[in-house]
Amino acid sequence: MAEKVLLKGNELLVEAAIEAGCRFFAGYPITPQNEVPETMSWRMPQAGGVFIQAESEIAAINMLFGASAAGARCMTSSSSPGISLKQEGISYITAAELPCLIVNMQRGGPGLGNIRAAQGDYFQAVKGGGHGDYRLIVLVPGTLPELYQLTMNAFDYADFYRNPVLILGDGILGQMAEPVELTPYEPILDLPPKDYVLDGCKGRPPRVVKTLYLHPTDSLVQHNLHLQEKYARIRRELNLYEEYETEDAELIVSAYGVPGRIAKGAVKMARREGIRAGLIRPLCVWPFPAAPFRKAAQTAGRFLVVEMSFGQYVEDVKLAIECRRPVAFLGKGGGWYPSQEEILEEIRRLSSKAQDPASVKGSV
Amino acid sequence: MDFHRPETLKDAPTHYCPGCGHGIVHRLVAEVIDELGIRQRTIGTAPVGCAVLLYDYFNCDIIECAHGRPPAVATGIKRMLPDRILFTYQGDGDLAAIGTAETIHAANRGENITVIFVNNAIYGMTGGQMAPTTMIGQWSTTTPDGRGQYAEGGPIKVCEMLSALDGVCYLERVSVSSPKDVMNARKAIKKAFENQIAEKGFSLVEVLSMCPTDWKLPPEKAMDFVNEKMKKVFPLGVYKDRSGGRHE
Ligand SMILES: Cc1ncc(C[n+]2csc(CCOP(=O)(O)OP(=O)(O)O)c2C)c(N)n1
């Protein structure tokens, strides 16, 4: 049996990455993810890898650009303000189609904000952030066993699709501790050979990693179409979520990450009270797992979205069900999260209304 | 002088303006790579600037970086592949304005890479705006009355600045504005690569170079501009040489 350990999320992340063969880490300190570079600083050398405390998040992401081009499994981690600084580099890495893992243990914003957990970087993560038409694969673990497994999987997704993967966590996920079984890494995909690696042109023609497309004049259109094809394929193939008691639910609660876990507790309690509530908890938010939402919208009358922000993820839920059902929203930003009791209270309120068809008509 | 095309250069005409120094510096770097027999284990970084199309000319692996980030990118590659030879090729805007932090910290860490820094005292690619190395009084499209000491600050002297850092192995400022200067530049570039092969750490060669187009000068006058004006502000010479040993 695999070893069971009690580690903080930030430390567990390091173990998962190293187990999955990550051998390059560059990062810059920022709370609440400091345990990541601190743990990396001694674990990476133990594993024969490279740790660099970079001079900035900009430098860190560009070091990844190089390390990935050199063929390494590599990662960086930061929290909100630092992730903002990485956006230019992320755009270049997606354009050059290099694999890497980026972790954002989100904190309160905007600006310097605070160091409490938040989910205010959702738009930045899934709608863009950097310049140009690009996508990141965005994974959103809500528990530490999920963080461990998804971190290992992230390297496979990155290599398989030649695209950066972002783990969108939050300060709670990074700071909380849970017992986790350190299962050995097993590739979940049949990984292609890295035929783009720059390691000197011995025995082959020189290779180029670049993102400038000037000639012919439409070459950038072609490159974008190629990227779009890849993103369409990822949309078809990657669909990660947990469904809980959705079958007969009249109210679907949805949240991702740590609030997803809190919401699950609230749904359990609601069930005990005889309220037919269910939960959809995505494990990736790009691509967005629209299918379970669409299916649920056929039977459930209402939706409730819970978020540690003033309303970002909720927009994708509305899009997924094409606004066919009213979507209520319970959000807290600035570093605070809705408690299980608050969510339960909202479920109760909505479910009693759900009994009354008249109140359902006006869509939110 | 060898008039054959070095193997490290592709058989392709460059896009550089008449009298531009980039073509000369490309050739010197390529000749040195040939001479040291390292082409097949060399990886170069292209900057954002006039030399962005480096991979159209260099017959070795090349990675094109975001503006100013080549030292960080080269760090990532070199740390993963320590037995490969990494060079960055950067303009003054790339190295000493937007990328100042990456330059200073790669130098301070003593990254075992070779930096070729082409100082033409102007932003070539974007059409002649002020560079961090534009000289006091020098005209540019964003200093129409000449660069001022007080509003814009004086030119940044990269070799002088980096010479204060313990991590640096070798700094030399050369020029390509006369045949004699070109020969000296070649020697300095060779030494900067040899240092890396011998694992001696960070080496940077600053090359004073011509930009006739954005200086609004005919090519021969551009050479005079380097010889008469730039060399006064940016004196040629060795600014640091610890190539005797990394930790001496
Ligand atoms: C982030 C970013 N800012 C600005 C630019 C526009 N830009 C391209 S090249 C350049 C300056 C290049 O000057 P230098 O580095 O001196 O090289 P040269 O062209 O003179 O060889 C600028 C400002 C850019 N591409 N990216």
- Nearest neighbour of B41 by CB, restricted to A50, A55, A202: A202
- Provide the percentage of residues in chain A whose pLDDT is more than 70: 96
Please determine, for the modelled complex, whether the ipTM score is greater than 0.95: yes
pLDDT band at residue A356 using 50, 70 and 90 as cut-offs: low
Which residue has its alpha carbon closest to ligand 1 atom 22?
Answer: B126
Q: What domains are defined for chain A?
A: 4-200+224-237 (3.40.50.970), 247-360 (3.40.50.920)
Residues of A whose CB is below 8 A from B100: none
Concatenated DSSP letters for A229-265? HHHHHHHHH---EEEES-TT-SEEEE--HHHHHHHHH
- Nearest neighbour of A62 by CB, restricted to B42, B69, B78: B69
pLDDT of residue B10: 97
* Bridge pairing between strands B61-64 and B114-119: unpaired
User: Does the C-beta of B156 come closer than 6 Å to ligand 1?
Assistant: no
- Model pLDDT for residues A109-163, shown as the tens digit of each residue: 999 999 999 999 999 999 989 999 999 999 999 999 999 999 999 999 999 999 9
pLDDT of residue B1: 54
Is residue A210 less than 8 Å (CB to CB) from chain B? yes
pLDDT of residue B2: 62
- CA–CA gap between residue B18 and residue B212 (Å, rounded): 8
- CA–CA gap between residue B158 and residue B173 (Å, rounded): 9
Give residue B88 CA to ligand 1 midpoint distance, Å: 15
Quick check: bond before A287 cis, omega within 30? yes
DSSP type of residue B134? P
Give the residue from chain B lying closest to A198, CA to CA: B61
- Model pLDDT for residues B57-81, shown as the tens digit of each residue: 999 999 999 999 999 999 999 999 9
pLDDT of residue A355: 54
Residues of chain B with pLDDT under 70: 1-2, 245-248
- CA–CA gap between residue B90 and residue B96 (Å, rounded): 9
B105 by DSSP, 3-state: which? helix
Residues of A whose CB is below 8 A from B76: 24, 26, 62-70, 74
Is there a contact between A10 and A175 (Cβ–Cβ < 8 Å)? yes
- CA–CA gap between residue A346 and residue A59 (Å, rounded): 45
Atom of ligand 1 nearest to the CA of B131: 16
Contact A206 B102 (CB under 8 A): no
Contact B66 A62 (CB under 8 A): yes
CB neighbourhood size of B210 (10 A): 27
Answer whether 0.80 is exceeded by the pTM: yes
pLDDT over threshold 60, residue A357:
no
Quick check: bond before A184 cis, omega within 30? no
* Bridge pairing between strands A302-307 and A327-331: parallel
B164 by DSSP, 3-state: which? coil
Give the residue from chain A lying closest to B38, CA to CA: A200
Q: What domains are defined for chain B?
A: 22-241 (3.40.50.970)
- Which residues of B have a CB under 8 Å from any CB of A? 39-43, 46, 52-53, 55, 58-66, 69, 72-81, 84-85, 101-102, 104-105
- CA–CA gap between residue B16 and residue A172 (Å, rounded): 54
Which neighbouring-strand residues pair with A103? Answer: A77, A167
- Nearest neighbour of A198 by CB, restricted to B63, B102, B105: B63
Tell me what the mean pLDDT of segment A319-341 comes to. 96
